[in-house]
Structure 1
Amino acid sequence: MVTFGLSGAGEAQEADVAAGKAYAEEVCAACHAVQGGDLESPLFEAPPFQDVADTPGMTELALSVWLQSSHPTMPNIVLEQDDMRNVVAYIRSLKGEG
């Protein structure tokens, strides 16, 4: 298991990249390209996770905010904290694969 340490409220949390990938494949893949290197999402308006990962300045905090912000073309999906931490770690693990 590959983990990333994310901090929130002053304490380190462990994130599970594999669990984040599994969640993304189950919940996000209907609209987003979620696999590393995939650059065409099923829904044109939904950015591929690879593009998100490779966006300059895309930090853990920026991803967390992005995942919690509603967008006009995105359904209002509420991620549990563990799921969000894992998805953030998974997206960050894609950086540079594209």
Structure 2
Amino acid sequence: MLENERPQPQKDTPPMRRTITAAAGLAVLVLGTHPSKADGIGNPARGLEYAKANCAGCHAILKDEIESSPNPDSPAFAAVAATPGITRTALSVFLQSPHPTMPNLIVAGEDADNLIAYILSLKIPAETMPN
């Protein structure tokens, strides 16, 4: 090697590059689409249990309690579910943000997924709503 020559980096062979790319793609596919993490579906029954233990002191949590929250400033879960445009993402952001009218409570992770699934299960299907 001459004095001012730099060593050249060793290049991956095309088959090795394909193997690495395929392995990386498979890892993203397998890890990135795990149902409990990727879409945050949650379990409505567990969400109801969480709501009974943590939310029922202020909120009406059952489907037929649309206007009867123990705290008049706390919306009923059925009313939240009926909010036009309510989505899993909107509820997730709300539950993970501190609010002055709520106790110092941030719901995250599996508890949030379950609670969101429960709240969204209270939605009245559009086809059964009165015109």
Q: Deviations over 1:38-69 (max 9, x none)?
A: 02100011000011000000000001111122
Aligned to 2:52: 25
RMSD: 2.1
Paired residues of 2:47 and 2:118 also in contact (CA < 8 A): yes
| Residues 1:7 and 1:22: Cα distance change in structure 2 (over 3 Å) | closer
Q: State the percentage of identical aligned residues.
A: 46
Please list, as runs of the form range in 1=range in 2, the aligned pairs for 1:13-92 lying within 5 A after superposition.
13-39=40-66, 40-92=68-120
- Post-superposition Cα deviations, 1:17-57, rounded to whole Å, max 9, x if no partner, equal 10000000110000000001202100011000011000000
RCO higher in structure (CA 8 A, sep ≥6): 1
TM-score, structure 1 as length reference: 0.83
Aligned length: 91
Q: Distance in 2 between matches of 1:85 and 1:75?
A: 20
- Give the TM-score, by structure 2 length: 0.63
> Higher strand fraction: Structure 1 or Structure 2?
1
AA matched with 2:55? C
Regions of 4+ moved over 4 Å: none
Structure 2 runs not aligned, ≥5 long: 1-34, 126-131
